[in-house]
């Protein structure tokens, strides 16, 4: 297999076979992220991609799902995505869905009819790391798009029938801003249809711009309890039927809930953490994290 770059897939795709479609990140400007900092962006040549498909076919000929690695393979043009999706069919006859990371920017360049066609060719399951639905936070994180862009582009996915997952990050708005960030984000997400929402919590690493902003006194990180309160606010203000997965390594207290049915249970669990845990103990957990 041609894994030339840093290979990263979300925890919920842990059982999905992976193939490198792109490596590195085409954007690299989010202030909290250093994942692909030293790696140039590259699209895997189709010959390389095809050779990897042939290899996957040898050991998983009946794979029903495939995850394309890279920070945003959806940045590829419609024609390039189409070529690769059809090539997957040549090798994996049973493959019904092709998942990958996508940015809101990548959707902008595609029309709804193109998205529909891609869906028909198997592309389904886009992980979109918007992190927030608040313009102030999106600007602070330098995501490169606005809340209105998220709404417009994800509605195109809804229209095309492409399943997508949104990522929300607690703590990203900084100290004292968690409540506002949660309310604005929940209001935006509630206008969309994410199959599930994955929640991470900001961990500051020294090679990021946000870390440098802390050193310069331009950003004050939220405490751990504020992040749990932010998550409670976010859950309380969400008004859609979806799954919430706040169980990745960056969450101090991992929880998963089917909303709205398990809303009260999730809030009760988080309230218990707020009442029984010590802030310094929680901060020690964060200091021990070595990756996102």
- Binding residues for ligand SF4, rule: CB under 6 A, are 25, 27-28, 30, 33, 35-36, 71, 103, 129
Of 33 and 255, CB closest to ligand SF4: 33
Closest CA to 178 of 212, 224, 129: 224
Quickly tell me which residue has 């802390």 as its tokens.
214
The smaller minimum CB distance to ligand SF4, of residues 104 and 228, is found at: 104
Q: Is 15 helix (H, G, I), strand (E, B) or coil?
A: coil
Least distance to ligand SF4, CB of residue 37, Å: 8
Output the smallest distance, CB 41 to ligand SF4, in A: 9
Closest approach of ligand SF4 to the CB of residue 128, in Å? 10
Q: CB of 89: closest distance to ligand SF4 in angstroms? A: 28
What whole-number distance in Å separates Cα of residue 170 and Cα of residue 106?
Answer: 24
Q: Would you say 44 or 233 has its CB closer to ligand SF4?
A: 44
Q: Which is nearer to ligand SF4, 179 or 205 (CB)?
A: 205
Q: Is 168 left (phi over 0), alpha (psi -120 to 50) or beta?
A: beta
The alpha carbon of residue 232 and the mean position of all alpha carbons in its chain are separated, in whole angstroms, by 20
Q: How many CB atoms are located within 10 Å of the residue 77 CB?
A: 12
* Cα–Cα distances in angstroms (integers) from residue 290 to residues 81, 85, 286, in the given order: 34, 35, 9
Based on CB atoms, which residue is closest to ligand SF4, 236 or 248? 248
**Cβ of residue 101: shortest distance to ligand SF4, in angstroms?**
7
């Amino acid at each position: 297999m041609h894994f030339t770059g840093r290979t990263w897939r979300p925890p919920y795709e842990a059982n999905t076979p992976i193939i490198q479609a792109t490596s590195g990140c085409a954007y690299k400007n989010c202030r909290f992220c250093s994942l692909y900092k030293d790696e140039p962006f590259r699209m895997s040549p189709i010959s390389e991609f095809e050779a990897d498909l042939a290899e996957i076919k040898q050991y998983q000929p009946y794979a029903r799902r495939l995850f394309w690695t890279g920070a945003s393979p959806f940045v590829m043009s419609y024609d390039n995505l189409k070529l690769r999706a059809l090539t997957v069919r040549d090798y994996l006859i049973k493959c019904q869905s092709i998942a990958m990371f996508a940015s809101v920017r990548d959707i902008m360049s595609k029309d709804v009819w193109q998205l529909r066609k891609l869906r028909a060719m198997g592309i389904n399951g886009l992980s979109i790391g918007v992190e927030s639905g608040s313009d102030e936070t999106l600007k602070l994180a330098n995501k490169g798009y606005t809340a209105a862009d998220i709404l417009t582009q994800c509605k195109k996915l809804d229209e095309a029938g492409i399943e997508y997952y949104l990522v929300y990050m607690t703590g990203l708005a900084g100290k004292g801003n968690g409540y506002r960030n949660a309310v604005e984000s929940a209001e935006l997400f509630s206008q969309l249809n994410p199959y599930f929402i994955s929640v991470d919590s900001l961990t500051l690493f020294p090679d990021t711009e946000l870390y440098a902003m802390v050193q310069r006194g331009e950003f004050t990180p939220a405490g751990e309890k504020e992040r749990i309160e932010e998550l409670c606010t976010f859950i309380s203000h969400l008004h859609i039927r979806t799954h919430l997965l706040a169980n990745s390594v960056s969450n101090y207290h991992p929880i998963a809930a089917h909303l709205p049915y398990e809303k009260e249970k999730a809030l009760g669990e988080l309230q218990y953490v707020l009442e029984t845990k010590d802030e310094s103990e929680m901060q020690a957990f964060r200091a021990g994290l070595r990756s996102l």
